[in-house]
Amino acid sequence: MTRYRIGVSVVMSGVLALSCRTPSSVGTVANPSPGIASGGYRVWADAAPRTDWPAPGPGKLHSLMPTPKTVAWGWYDAAGAPVLRVNSGDEVVVRALSTCNPTSLVRSGLDSNRVEQLAKDIYAAREAIKPGPGGHILTGPIFVEGADSGDVLEVRFKSIRPAINYACNSFGPRSGFLPEDFPGKSQSKIIELDTVRMLGHFAPNIVIPLHPFFGSVGVAPPAASGRVHSAPPGIHAGNLDNKELVAGTTLYIPVWTKGALLELGDGHAGQGNGEVDITAMETSLISRIQVVVRKDLHLTWPRGETPTHYIAMGTDSALVKATKTAVRQAIELLVQVKGMTREDAYQLVSVSSDVDITQLVDGTVGVHVMIPKLIFR
């Protein structure tokens, strides 16, 4: 496998753009060095196995790190001020913090020296940042030139890696899918991550393969919605918590405002469908993404694609309605992408595709339909 390195220096303001030539192989962010994990600002890119990304090829390469000036704490908003501007086709090396509160991490047994300086800085500036209404620390917004209402923003996840070597999981008496079963109880756990073998050590005899992905990737909702809470997913995508959106996959998001205003966060080292106690293996991630404005697509709901599946999605406060939306979106996907009749598409979903619960704990629940590409010969 051909390997190359591109040095990306990150300034304290959090953003830097540099023009570079890249070979035909797709860049990925390597396992972060201790310098990155402890707040050192340098990223190295190596070659990734996937080489079949469609046009356009990579444009300019940017870097965006989370600082008090480059995060949206708990919101998506069409009136949000962008912290970085990019063009369609550009790539961004972006880092996002976990939902793990530094104080809670130490209380759960983590050595305070292992807490990211980036997180300490942001929590120290909390009052100036004015968080809310949600709790996710999202990196962005990123303004994508040329994107506007009615377009689709294609987000290609070219690499996603843990930026630190631990994760947290916790639940409380008023959260999760079964709060009535744990009255007055809370529990938090530190999960050590082996970022070389990509394993999470949940307990002495329990090891979980890591599949890093962003729980929240979204754009600004329609302006009429105002500033929306970061937890419930919706037509702007946001906190989808879809564990399929790992490196090598694509998320298509309907654009509702000029520039799209993309935000990423809620890093997960891995998660089970449902995310039943309200948290996954929450950790910080560093990723290389490419953003492409699609004028040729018109969607009403987010849609995903992996090398092996198409993914249709639906969300609602009622699980049945969310499921109906996801199945209808699967039918619409097959009509648009494969030219099928609605009747044939309905039947094909029934005999070939899996309807999965994405998450059950964000007030607005999520359902997704996995349509295997293998059936199309």
Q: Are 315 and 365 in contact (CB under 8 A)?
A: yes
**264 vs 216: CA distance, rounded Å:** 6
Flag whether pLDDT at 32 surpasses 70.
no
pLDDT per position as a tens digit, 81-139: 999 999 999 999 999 999 999 999 999 999 999 999 999 999 999 999 989 999 999 99
Flag whether pLDDT at 29 surpasses 80.
no
Degrees, nearest 5: CA angle 41-243-230: 70
**141 vs 151: CA distance, rounded Å:** 17
CA distance readout (Å), 161 to 12, 45, 195, 284, 297? 22, 11, 8, 9, 29
Query: Which pLDDT score, from 0 to 100, does residue 5 have?
Result: 33
| Cβ-proximal residues to 207 (8 Å cutoff; 6+ apart), any chain | 199, 200, 201
pLDDT per position as a tens digit, 265-318: 999 999 999 999 999 999 999 999 999 999 999 999 999 999 999 999 999 999
**Two tokens at 100?**
């793990």
Is the pLDDT higher at 51 or at 112? 112
The full 3-state SS of the chain, as one line of letters, equals CCCCCCEEECCCCCEEEECCCCCCCCEEECCCCHHHHCCCCEEEEEECCCCCCCCCCCCCEEEECCCCCCEEECEECCCCCCCEEECCCCEEEEEECCCCCHHHHHHCCCCHHHCCHHHHHHHHCHHHHCCCCCCCEEEEEEEECCCCCCCEEEEEEEEEEECCCEEEEEECCCCCCCHHHCCCCCEEEEEEEECCCCEEEEECCEEEECCCEEEEEECCCCHHHCCEECCCCECCEECCCCCCCCCCCEEEEECCCCCCCEEEEEEECCCCCECCCCCCCECCEEEEEEEEEECCCCCCCCEEECCCEEEEEEEECCHHHHHHHHHHHHHHHHHHHHCCCHHHHHHHHHHHCEEEEEECCCCCEEEEEEEEHHHCC
**122 vs 264: CA distance, rounded Å:** 16
**263 vs 219: CA distance, rounded Å:** 6
Query: Which pLDDT score, from 0 to 100, does residue 37 have?
Result: 33
Query: Which pLDDT score, from 0 to 100, does residue 119 have?
Result: 96
Q: Which of 30-44, 55-69, 74-88 has the lowest mean pLDDT?
A: 30-44
Could you give phi then psi for residue 287, rounded to 5 degrees?
-140, 155
